[in-house]
Chain A
Amino acid sequence: MATYSTNEFRGGLKIMLDGDPYSIIENEFVKPGKGQAFNRVKVRNLKTGRVIDKTFKSGESVEAADVLDKDMQYLYTDGEFWHFMDPDTFEQVAANETAVADAKKWLKEQDVSVMTLWNGEPLSVAPPNFVELTVTQTDPGVRGDTATGATKPAFVETGAEIKVPLFIEEGDILKIDTRTGEYVSRAK
């Protein structure tokens, strides 16, 4: 069982606390004069996303969390799980709804996302910053219809709905920023 001492604490370090994997966000070393030193850390629970503050007596050890990020290629979904493949080993892994969360709006077959795994179990999926998706349904834009702010709703192949400019038609391929869920431009 690998351990880290508080002396090794830094942002990004993955540790185990109360049975859950956490990532250190901030680490503050506190020591009054010649007294006992403490590490006051802000940590994020990688399963729940919750951020909490914790105090450690300096010099103490904590269990390291077997957490790593891997590039995974999206294959398909059966509604209950989203199936990915490690492009290097061809091993398949199934992520549940909690792990894919909002990313499921942007997953296109063959696209590569970054998956965070703990002990081999998918914790979360981060889609690429930009995706190119085809418009599957949208009403034709009516010229002169500026009352709606010159955008209209459109559905893309993953089932997600986004606002697009009026000139966009079904079949167009769009570049979308997954971090904001917004249309960026038309893709070639």
Chain B
Amino acid sequence: MLKDIRAFFDARQVLEVETPILGSFGVTEPALNNMVVDTGADRRYLQTSPEYAMKRLLSAGSGDIYQVTRAFRGAEYGTRHNPEFSILEWYRLGMDHHDLMDEVDALLMELLSNLSLRGSKRLSYREAFQESLDIDPVLCSETTLMELASERDLLPEQSLSRDDLLDLLLSMVVAKTFPEDQLSFIYDWPVSQAALARVLPDDPACAGRFEVYLGELELANGFWELSNADEQEQRFKLDRQERELSGLPDIEADPMLLDALRQGLPECSGVALGLDRILMLRQGAATINDVLAFPWERS
């Protein structure tokens, strides 16, 4: 699989890079658990993705780059999750998220050629919800979302935010309607779930983020990258506020990433792909443990 990946990027003249797995700063995103390492001299964080380091390279003039590395996300464990997993991440200058989706499509069709997929379908986040739940996820009320979850017996006892409800409905209802023999590209996510994607210039309610699924299995997450340092800093602040409200540990915003953005991040799009899941599909494995030499419980 790695040979195929390297050949793909070689042909497109994308440079392979290696960045540190340990960093002085974690990520502020409330839904991600940073793993902390005691180095003896200080505390460092295991990366949840190579994003920040690679953006610093891009700002320094690296040009198109890709990396195969390990990511670490605490408390994410299940049939498709291992807290330590392999990630392929790459960045392309001058592409928006639609252009990058074309490239992800091409790569996945190659890597998954033994599955005889019937190509891919593209739909916006709003269209996906419209098709399976008949609602507009950006405009509908929180009550409507709660009712939809409740009538399917999906509501937990704990209270959920609007985004939590959207996540619940997406993974438990909408994604389950995605075809098993076609890649589904879901693009233009609500701005509340933008992460590091830029807000769409012609639709301020949505952001240039996309995700790729095969059936309900999520394979990749990509952004038309936010390059505005002030806006990024503001998002980090909101993240930290949310952490505080939820009783999660505070994480400092990475000043080195913000500096790099101020230096100037070239217009680009980036995407991260879960390689263990690609391997699972290629081999017909039912659980991620089947493609790991030693899964979490045995390492």
Closest to B48 in A: A34
* Best-buried of B81, B157, B195 by chain A (most CB within 10 Å): B157
Kindly state whether residue B167 has any CB partner on chain A within 8 Å. Answer: yes
Q: A18-56 toward B: CB 8 Å interface, digit per residue (1/0)? A: 000000000111111111111010000000000001111
Among the stretches A57-65, A77-85, A86-94, A102-110, the one at the interface with B is A57-65
* Best-buried of B155, B167, B172 by chain A (most CB within 10 Å): B167
Report chain B residues within 8 Å CB of A31: 31, 76, 81, 171
Whether A37 and B76, one on each chain, are in contact in the complex, defined by CB atoms closer than 8 angstroms, is: yes
* Complex partner residue of B155 from A33, A34, A35, A55, CB under 8 angstroms: A55
* Complex partner residue of A29 from B32, B79, B161, B218, CB under 8 angstroms: B79
Kindly state whether residue A129 has any CB partner on chain B within 8 Å. Answer: no
* Complex partner residue of A36 from B80, B155, B167, B175, CB under 8 angstroms: B167
Report chain A residues within 8 Å CB of B280: none
Report chain B residues within 8 Å CB of A56: 156-158
Report chain A residues within 8 Å CB of B32: 34
With contacts A34-B29, A35-B167 taken as known, whether A57 is within 8 angstroms of B160 at the C-beta atoms is: yes
Kindly state whether residue A7 has any CB partner on chain B within 8 Å. Answer: yes
Kindly state whether residue B170 has any CB partner on chain A within 8 Å. Answer: yes
Whether B195 and A36, one on each chain, are in contact in the complex, defined by CB atoms closer than 8 angstroms, is: no
- Shortest Cβ distance from residue B168 to the other chain A in the assembled complex, whole angstroms: 6
Report chain A residues within 8 Å CB of B75: 7, 37, 58-59
* Chain A residues within 8 Å of chain B by Cβ, number: 22
Measured in the bound complex, the distance between the Cα atoms of B149 and A36 in whole Å is: 15
* Chain B residues within 8 Å of chain A by Cβ, number: 32
Whether A54 and B78, one on each chain, are in contact in the complex, defined by CB atoms closer than 8 angstroms, is: no
Whether B211 and A57, one on each chain, are in contact in the complex, defined by CB atoms closer than 8 angstroms, is: no
Closest to A58 in B: B75
- Shortest Cβ distance from residue A156 to the other chain B in the assembled complex, whole angstroms: 44
With contacts A29-B78, A29-B81, A33-B221 taken as known, whether A40 is within 8 angstroms of B172 at the C-beta atoms is: yes
Whether A36 and B78, one on each chain, are in contact in the complex, defined by CB atoms closer than 8 angstroms, is: no
Report chain B residues within 8 Å CB of A35: 31, 163-164, 166-167, 170-171, 193
Report chain B residues within 8 Å CB of A59: 75
Whether A33 and B211, one on each chain, are in contact in the complex, defined by CB atoms closer than 8 angstroms, is: yes
Kindly state whether residue B42 has any CB partner on chain A within 8 Å. Answer: no
With contacts A29-B81, A30-B172, A55-B168 taken as known, whether A36 is within 8 angstroms of B160 at the C-beta atoms is: yes
Kindly state whether residue B151 has any CB partner on chain A within 8 Å. Answer: no
Q: B154-184 toward A: CB 8 Å interface, digit per residue (1/0)? A: 1111101101101110111001000000000
Whether B76 and A36, one on each chain, are in contact in the complex, defined by CB atoms closer than 8 angstroms, is: no
Closest to B193 in A: A35
* Complex partner residue of B31 from A30, A36, A54, A55, CB under 8 angstroms: A36
Q: B170-209 toward A: CB 8 Å interface, digit per residue (1/0)? A: 1110010000000000000000010100000000000000
Whether B160 and A53, one on each chain, are in contact in the complex, defined by CB atoms closer than 8 angstroms, is: no
- Shortest Cβ distance from residue B181 to the other chain A in the assembled complex, whole angstroms: 21
With contacts A7-B75, A32-B218, A33-B218 taken as known, whether A38 is within 8 angstroms of B81 at the C-beta atoms is: no
- Shortest Cβ distance from residue B89 to the other chain A in the assembled complex, whole angstroms: 14
Measured in the bound complex, the distance between the Cα atoms of B161 and A143 in whole Å is: 76
Report chain B residues within 8 Å CB of A60: 156, 158
Closest to A33 in B: B221
- Shortest Cβ distance from residue A62 to the other chain B in the assembled complex, whole angstroms: 9
Closest to B247 in A: A59
Whether B76 and A30, one on each chain, are in contact in the complex, defined by CB atoms closer than 8 angstroms, is: no
Measured in the bound complex, the distance between the Cα atoms of B79 and A30 in whole Å is: 9
Closest to A57 in B: B158
A-B contact pairs, 25 of them (CB 8 A): A29-B78, A29-B80, A30-B78, A31-B31, A32-B167, A32-B171, A32-B218, A33-B195, A33-B211, A34-B29, A34-B193, A35-B31, A35-B163, A35-B166, A35-B193, A36-B163, A36-B167, A37-B75, A38-B171, A40-B172, A56-B156, A57-B158, A57-B160, A59-B75, A60-B156
When A and B form their complex, which 5 residue pairs have the shortest distance between CB atoms, in order from nearest?
A29-B78, A35-B167, A55-B156, A36-B164, A57-B158
